[in-house]
């Protein structure tokens, strides 16, 4: 067995292990989010003015916030918001970018020129500045956040898919499909595009991390999810004034975001390792 084969097998095995660990972490977050109403003993928005800023205890494992709400309950319910917008904030631009990139690479000509020039315009602006401007213009709320993410993030997918389509459209099986009389539309969507998704799928988990961090950042700045809805970034912002005495109010939601991002990053890294082999 050659050295290259051995190294490839080890890389594939390591990639598979990272994917499994990442899926386990992300799957745990998804299960907690889905089971939030069942596993939490308190209402996430119920105020208790007699138990404000309490330290962690058996009654409140992560204490209470400045309004007497149970921090652990709110953090579990916040996963429903952050995970949903994080996934949609990456999947919506992935669908749009994949479609536009496939059209640009396969059709070429003026279609390619228009789509690529549009991507250049989007990339000319700093990402977070453009997102903040769009959210400010559209108003607070999940819909405006998703629209902003889609407008900004489709470019990466379009460029990745376009590059693959330019390569695949010249391969023999595509030429054979044309020779067999299949329509260009069928060849594009049934044969070319599915074989062009490798790099885009590897990029998707990392983009979910970016979308989740983007939502947390917007909420931290007061432009994200409107209160009193629980959201990790908003919880970090609310706990910031009490960082010296009740440090866990801001630190624990930040660590949760970190662990969730780590799980997705491990999935992306493992997928890339498997793709290389």
What gap in Å lies between CA 72 and CA 60, rounded to an integer? Answer: 7
Question: At residue 3, does pLDDT exceed 50?
Answer: no
> How high is the pLDDT of residue 275?
74
What does each C-alpha distance from 219 to 7, 227, 231 come to in angstroms? 44, 9, 7
Mean pLDDT within 51-78: 94
For tokens 């404000």, the residue is: 52
Instruction: State the chain's maximal CA–CA distance in angstroms.
Output: 77
Tokens for 157, please give them: 């997918």
144 within 8 A of 219, measured Cβ to Cβ: no
For the stretch 80-109, pLDDT in tens is 999 999 999 999 999 999 999 999 999 999
For the stretch 134-169, pLDDT in tens is 998 998 889 999 999 999 999 999 999 999 999 999
For the stretch 123-143, pLDDT in tens is 999 988 999 999 989 988 899
User: Which has the minimum average pLDDT: 110-119, 142-151, 176-185?
Assistant: 176-185
Question: At residue 6, does pLDDT exceed 60?
Answer: no
- Provide the b/e sequence for 228-254 (b: ≥16 CB within 10 Å): ebbbbbbbbbbbeeeeeebebbbebbe
> How high is the pLDDT of residue 179?
85
Percentage of the residues of the chain whose pLDDT score is greater than 90: 74
> How high is the pLDDT of residue 7?
44
Question: At residue 33, does pLDDT exceed 90?
Answer: yes
> How high is the pLDDT of residue 175?
87
| Torsion of the alpha carbons at 166, 168, 173 and 177, rounded to the nearest 10 | -40
Hey, what domains does the chain have and what are their CATH numbers? 3-276 (1.10.3720.10)
266 within 8 A of 19, measured Cβ to Cβ: yes
Question: At residue 273, does pLDDT exceed 90?
Answer: no
Question: At residue 1, does pLDDT exceed 60?
Answer: no
Q: What predicted TM-score, i.e. pTM, was given to this entire model?
A: 0.90
Q: Among 157, 174, 261, 253, which Cα is nearest to 209's?
A: 261
């Amino acid at each position: 067995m050659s050295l290259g084969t051995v190294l490839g097998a080890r890389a594939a095995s390591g990639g598979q292990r990272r994917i499994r660990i990442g899926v386990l972490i992300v799957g745990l977050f998804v299960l907690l989010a889905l089971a939030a109403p069942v596993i939490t003993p308190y209402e996430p928005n119920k105020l208790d003015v007699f138990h404000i800023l309490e330290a962690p205890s058996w009654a409140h494992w992560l204490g209470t916030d400045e309004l007497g709400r149970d921090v652990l309950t709110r953090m579990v319910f916040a996963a429903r918001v952050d995970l949903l917008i994080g996934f949609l904030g990456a999947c919506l631009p992935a669908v749009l970018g994949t479609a536009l990139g496939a059209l640009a690479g396969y059709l070429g000509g003026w279609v390619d020129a228009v789509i690529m020039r549009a991507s250049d315009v989007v990339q000319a602006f700093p990402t977070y500045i453009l997102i903040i401007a769009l959210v400010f213009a559209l108003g607070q709320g999940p819909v405006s956040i998703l629209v902003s993410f889609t407008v900004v993030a489709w470019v990466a997918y379009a460029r990745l898919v376009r590059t693959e389509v330019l390569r695949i459209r010249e391969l023999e099986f595509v030429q054979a499909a044309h020779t067999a009389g299949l329509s260009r539309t069928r060849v594009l969507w049934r044969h070319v595009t599915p074989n062009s998704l490798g790099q885009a799928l590897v990029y998707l988990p990392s983009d979910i991390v970016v979308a989740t961090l983007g939502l947390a950042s917007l909420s931290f700045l007061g432009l994200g999810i409107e209160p009193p809805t629980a959201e990790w970034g908003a919880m970090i912002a609310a706990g910031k004034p009490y960082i010296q005495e009740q440090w866990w109010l801001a630190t624990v939601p930040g660590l949760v975001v970190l662990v969730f991002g780590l799980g997705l990053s491990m999935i992306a890294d493992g997928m890339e390792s498997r793709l290389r082999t």
